[in-house]
Amino acid sequence: MVKLVFLIIGLVALVGMVLFIGLEPILHAASQLGPLAFSIILLPMILVYGLEAWGWRLTLGKYAEKIGFFRLFAIRMAGETVNVTTPAAYVGGEPLKAYLLKRYGVPMVEGMASVIIAKTTMTVAQVLFILLGLGLAFWIIDEASHDWVTMLVSLGLLAFGVGLLVMFQRYGLGMGCLTFLRACGIRLAFLEKRESQLQDMDATIRRFYSENRRTFYLALGTFFLAWFCETLEVYAILYYLDVSVDMWTSISIAALTVFIKGGTFFIPGSLGAQEGGYTLLLMSFGYTEVTGITFALLRRLREILWIVIGLGCLLLLKGKDLPTPTEPTSFS
């Protein structure tokens, strides 16, 4: 119910922004993009998603060869589509990824461990990329304000949260959650029955961090490169909107859009908040509100197209025993 309220508020906010700025100037700005330009704008995300799939593949160890890159890419796209289309705060598709891995010969414990490791590594890389973007923003904009202070505090909290997540993984994320629930007097039969599997998953995660440090850093670099490649999309959009743009500004904007999207996860699809945040961000870099909202709407359109592709991957992978996104998966 709360998610639905946020979704409605976001939709109203988006419509309000478009009407306030004016539909005609937005359409005029977007009309500068022909089919070729729009196709070029879509290309960087193929590289981004490919690198993210490869980073995940590195965490699978000996099971990576069983899956194959293109199948793993399809599984990742299916899981991410569930993440962004269901009210599950970007984690609803993670168990689904592990379940789909199981169907191709990866035990559920190892599959879930790889999903957790990849998600954590990807988030660490995300924080590093945002830090780079913030540093460049201070240099480019050359002004300090309360907004920047708020952003730095928020980023600090995000980094602290990631640090806690990594620490919990080293000492046992699965059993840590189970122990915490028990201390709160909460007993979930689904988890209670799978205590031994949770212990095995924790042991698998700990082994990865202690025995595969080189692989961890390689995965971290791969995910960082994936985040960095979003710069190409930002540059392409602004270039084809016929406004001045340079690579340093593109890097900073790309990093801060990642921050904005991550900070609005509680709104389904970040609808409205994402568009408003992107518009204000570009205005802070000296662009007009028309350029800002057009930029945001083009990225939203790209998102929708990839959701459709993800749904196609989900249908291709779907079998008679595939659970719905809200149905719990088994560790057995």
Residue 332 has pLDDT above 60, yes or no: no
Residue 325: the pLDDT is 44
In tens, the pLDDT along 54-84 reads 999 999 988 988 888 999 999 999 998 888 8
- Single pTM value for the model: 0.83
Residue 328 has pLDDT above 60, yes or no: no
Of the chain, the percentage scoring pLDDT greater than 90 comes to 34
Residue 188: the pLDDT is 66
Residue 161 has pLDDT above 80, yes or no: no
Output the CA–CA distances (angstroms, integers) from residue 243 to 279, 290, 321, in the order listed.
15, 11, 51
Please answer whether residues 158 and 296 qualify as being in contact, where contact means their C-beta atoms are separated by less than 8 angstroms.
Answer: no
In tens, the pLDDT along 171-219 reads 666 666 666 666 777 776 666 666 677 777 888 888 888 888 899 999 9
Structural tokens at position 57: 């593949």
Residue 95: band (very low, low, confident or very high) from pLDDT cuts 50, 70, 90: confident
CB atoms within 10 A of CB 178: 21
Residue 181: the pLDDT is 62
Supply the mean pLDDT for the chain. 81
Lowest mean pLDDT: which of 66-75, 117-126, 256-265, 277-286?
A: 256-265
Residue 327 has pLDDT above 50, yes or no: no
Please give the average per-residue pLDDT across 85-90, as a whole number. Answer: 61
Residue 271: the pLDDT is 76
Please answer whether residues 68 and 317 qualify as being in contact, where contact means their C-beta atoms are separated by less than 8 angstroms.
Answer: no
104 SS3 class: coil
Residue 146 has pLDDT above 60, yes or no: no
Core vs surface per residue 201-225: b (16+ CB within 10 A) or e: bbebbbebeeebeebbeebbebbbb
Where are the strands (E) in the chain, listed by range?
none
Structural tokens at position 119: 């998600």
Please give the average per-residue pLDDT across 138-167, as a whole number. Answer: 64
